Structure 1
Amino acid sequence: MEFHVPNTVSFHLSLLILVAWSSVQASHSSSLSSSAAETISRFQHYLQINTSQPTPNYYQASDFLVSQAKSSSLQSQAIEFVRGKPFVLIKWPGTNPHLPSILLYSHTDVVPSEIDKWKYDPFSAHIDDNGNIYARGSQDMKCVGMQYLEAVRRLKASGLQPLRSIYLAFSPDEEIGGQDGAAKFAESEVFKSLNIGVVLDEGMASADENYRIFYAERSARWLVIKAIGQPGHGSRLYDNSAAENMMKSLESIRRFRASQFDMIKAGLMAEGEVISVNMAYSTAGTPSPTGFVMNLQPSEAEVGFDIRVPPTADLESLERRIADEWAPASRNMTFRFLAKAPVHDEFGNPFTTKTDSSNPWWGLLQDAIQRAGGKLHEPGIFPASTDSRYFRRLGLPAFGFSPMANTPILLHDHNEFLNQEVYLKGITMYESIIKAYASYVENEGNRASTGDL
């Protein structure tokens, strides 16, 4: 049955709904100052722009970011290294343009969402009664990009004149590998002209009160294994059928995965220090209009794995294991890599950033976080991959840091959220960090020890 509301009633009903919604939103921010409420509102606006892959609305995000730069009297430009994928670069000029500058890096795209698995629409930026902001990108990593902007806004308002130039970069396509975003940027003449000295990029949340910082990351190895064998009736037992050989392979991989996971569970290794192997897809069988033919053994089976390797991994040993155990030619199996990101440079040195006294940016980062009231875990290896790798490959120091303490890790998960108080505290953290970095003056000892700074 359809129920038609008269126009006058519809108008008043819509007005009542709008008032009620405004009251709910006001209650969420009632404990916040007016400036803090405006800060949260800007964050919500950015989150509400649907930049999910595979069809991100990059231009709407770009326009918003440029408008935010203008509101703080910052220089900005949207560059298309690849058509349809604007890269936003914002500049706060330093008083000494000859000094290496600071790059505050983030990405604008987010992963897709299964909307029916969420409490609230992933692009509503809904704030619940606990002050949790539910949205895709609330942790990964629109929060960080907006925190950079808000921190710079506050520092400018305080009258700070940075010694070093500060650049804020908002890049497309990180969630699909970054080839049309960070990779193009890092190779460009634009990037070379910026004279970057250090890069800050994303990290992840911490379940306790201590923040996490990452000096390296695991690299992706996307592996596809294929098995072929004799097809036949579903009741027959064959040696070396495609499915049998694939099952043997899966069991070998499962044992290896368990051995790596056991080291994490025992507290012997951190997640970023082991090799992870997770199945991404599997295909086999003969399709039918109602599903698959159940009494026919397939002649082919294929499985894809997302493998992540730390910079400390023995890659030759891993590839021997794949060739000898996981996909041996003797069992009519083959393998190939869809992605194989480098872990070391041409001399065998891992792509890592130093976290000792030889790197002044590390000491400055630690001190700035502590001055802002933060505590730190020991620096670690990021368990996944970020765009930092493109900058570390150039020999630049790069740290992964997302100021989210006492927060569950919800990257790429359903119901991703970030508490508004945690978000606001993160802005304070970046104020301290940016001020320390922008004001840093190298002495002769530091220059000698760091060389490339």
Structure 2
Amino acid sequence: MTDYANEPAVANLRDYLRIRSVHPNINYNECLTYLRRQAVELGLPVQVVEAVPRKPVLVMTWEGLEPNLPSILLNSHMDVVPVFEKSWTYPPFEARIVDGVIYARGVQDMKTTGVQYIEAVRRLKSRGIRLKRTLHLSFVPDEEVGGHNGMSEFVKTDHFRNLNIGFALDEGLASPDDNFVVYNAERSIWHVTVTCPGKSGHGSLLLPDNCGEKIRYIIDKFMDLRKESKAKLESDPELTIGEVTSVNLTMLNGGIQNNVIPEKLTASFDIRLALSVNFEEFENMIKQWCIEAGDGVTYEFEQKDVYVAPTSVDSTNPYWVAFKAAIDKLNVPLKVRTFPGGTDSRFIRQLGISALGFFPHRHTPPALHEHNESLRVSVFLDGITVYTDIIPALANV
């Protein structure tokens, strides 16, 4: 078994993974200190922007030979999701290596990628390579809670506009087989709560205008839609979850005690709308269900993403052509997919900027947000080599 303990890039990754930038209530100062140190070692200037107080975005910049050209952005997020430490085999913020595997929260999602960017730039600069386009490495907060105080606000600032981004790389998913997978789009997130009011009274009675009957109707409609999507997935092995609309009942609320019919019940749903869905028609369908369910039934959105067009993956997009050519040189099969969840890429694509989600991790089961999140060290190191090929290809378009 290879001894990775003295490998500088591995030590660098483990240092980052040991920072407990875990929700909730993250203090990002330790991340900033770590990243500033990396920038000094690379000889890159740094700017830190707080579009929202205590939600810093750090950007390292490697100026290109033709800095007036649109630049390349390599984005990653600093935050990680909470852990249930008792369910982990090894402490989640120790970054322990066991049999060539690193176990740590964030080792897939997505501190590894940020370090791979850094190490790839380190290699390129050590070889005396200069890029035509300027390269920016951004490290953003709060992606794991929707990005609303992170990238969502950062893209609205003059600081972001002054970066003059032409193309962005962001997070993808590990691939369990021999392929690389690249994501050129995301489904749109709708979080909707339906409120079903009714006549309150004694639990022994069969009163009219019953909130239970109404909420059953609503739940049945959403679950029927869920069943349709499951059937579609099962009938076509070529489809992935990103190509269909997912529906999940996530919260039920109401009632005060068991013998009292409540005056209202609510049901909340997490919906991820496929790119093929007509958003206006979909909302009208929800509206019609509420009418059919009974008097006074209403719905409201906690989150309602707009439609965001996918990034073109054909000859009309020179960045895609360069990206694919770099992957082709590695002789690795490449699949294009729609990302099943939400990432910061959607805020960038919404501006009309090309963005791809990508992890150079093959033969690796995705383990985002799971107990014992892990990654083989060899996969991490191979990924640095992949980015060392991809970055010049993109920056020299």
- With the shorter chain as reference, the TM-score category is over 0.9
2:171 is the alignment partner of 1:202: yes
2:23 is the alignment partner of 1:65: no
Indicate if the aligned counterparts of 2:218 and 2:293 stay in contact, CA closer than 8 A.
no
Residues 311 and 72 of structure 1: CA distance in aligned 2, closer, same or farther (over 3 Å)? same
Once the two structures are superposed, the pairs formed by residues 249-328 of structure 1 within 5 Å of their partners are 249-267=218-236, 269-286=239-256, 293-325=257-289, 328=292
- The Cα shift of 1:240 comes to 4.1
Distance 1:60 1:33 in 2: 23
- The Cα shift of 1:331 comes to 4.4
2:296 is the alignment partner of 1:339: no
Unaligned 5+ runs, structure 2: none
Alignment partner, residue 149 of structure 1:
118
The structure that has the greater radius of gyration is 1
Alignment partner, residue 357 of structure 1:
315
1:227 aligned to which of 175, 182, 196: 196
Distance 1:327 1:65 in 2: 54
Alignment partner, residue 443 of structure 1:
none
SS in 2 for 1:187: coil
Residues 155 and 253 of structure 1: CA distance in aligned 2, closer, same or farther (over 3 Å)? same
1:103-129 CA deviation, whole Å, 9 max, x = no partner? 101111122222233222322222222
Once the two structures are superposed, the pairs formed by residues 2-41 of structure 1 within 5 Å of their partners are 30=3, 32=4, 34=6, 37-41=7-11
Which letter maps to 1:310?
A: A
Indicate if the aligned counterparts of 1:235 and 1:295 stay in contact, CA closer than 8 A.
yes
Indicate if the aligned counterparts of 2:215 and 2:293 stay in contact, CA closer than 8 A.
no
Residues 439 and 61 of structure 1: CA distance in aligned 2, closer, same or farther (over 3 Å)? same
Distance 1:118 1:262 in 2: 35
Indicate if the aligned counterparts of 1:48 and 1:124 stay in contact, CA closer than 8 A.
yes
Distance 1:316 1:113 in 2: 38
2:17 is the alignment partner of 1:47: yes
- The Cα shift of 1:411 comes to 1.8
Alignment partner, residue 119 of structure 1:
89
Residues 40 and 29 of structure 1: CA distance in aligned 2, closer, same or farther (over 3 Å)? farther
Give the TM-score taking structure 1 as reference length.
0.83
Distance 1:118 1:230 in 2: 48
Alignment partner, residue 386 of structure 1:
343
**Identity over aligned pairs, percent:** 39
Distance 1:128 1:304 in 2: 41
- The Cα shift of 1:393 comes to 1.5
- The Cα shift of 1:82 comes to 1.9
SS in 1 for 2:20: coil
Indicate if the aligned counterparts of 1:49 and 1:57 stay in contact, CA closer than 8 A.
no
1:333-359 CA deviation, whole Å, 9 max, x = no partner? 211011111105xxxxxx211100111
SS in 1 for 2:299: strand
Comparing 326-335 with 64-73, greater Cα deviation is found at 326-335
- The Cα shift of 1:239 comes to 4.5
Indicate if the aligned counterparts of 1:122 and 1:136 stay in contact, CA closer than 8 A.
yes
Distance 2:19 2:297 in 1: 45
2:376 is the alignment partner of 1:412: no
2:77 aligned to which of 78, 96, 107: 107
Distance 1:128 1:285 in 2: 49
Give the TM-score taking structure 2 as reference length.
0.94
Unaligned 5+ runs, structure 1: 1-27, 287-292, 345-350, 441-453
Kindly tell me the number of residue pairs found equivalent between the two proteins. Answer: 396
Residues 237 and 116 of structure 1: CA distance in aligned 2, closer, same or farther (over 3 Å)? farther
Indicate if the aligned counterparts of 2:49 and 2:159 stay in contact, CA closer than 8 A.
no
Which letter maps to 1:316?
A: E
Indicate if the aligned counterparts of 2:75 and 2:114 stay in contact, CA closer than 8 A.
yes
SS in 2 for 1:56: coil
Distance 1:357 1:370 in 2: 15
2:59 is the alignment partner of 1:89: yes
Distance 1:315 1:439 in 2: 38
- The Cα shift of 1:329 comes to 5.9
Greater length-normalized contact order (CA 8 Å, ≥ 6 residues apart): 2
Alignment partner, residue 3 of structure 1:
none
Distance 1:156 1:328 in 2: 64
Distance 1:258 1:352 in 2: 26
- The Cα shift of 1:72 comes to 1.6
What RMSD in Å do the two structures reach over aligned CA positions?
Answer: 1.9
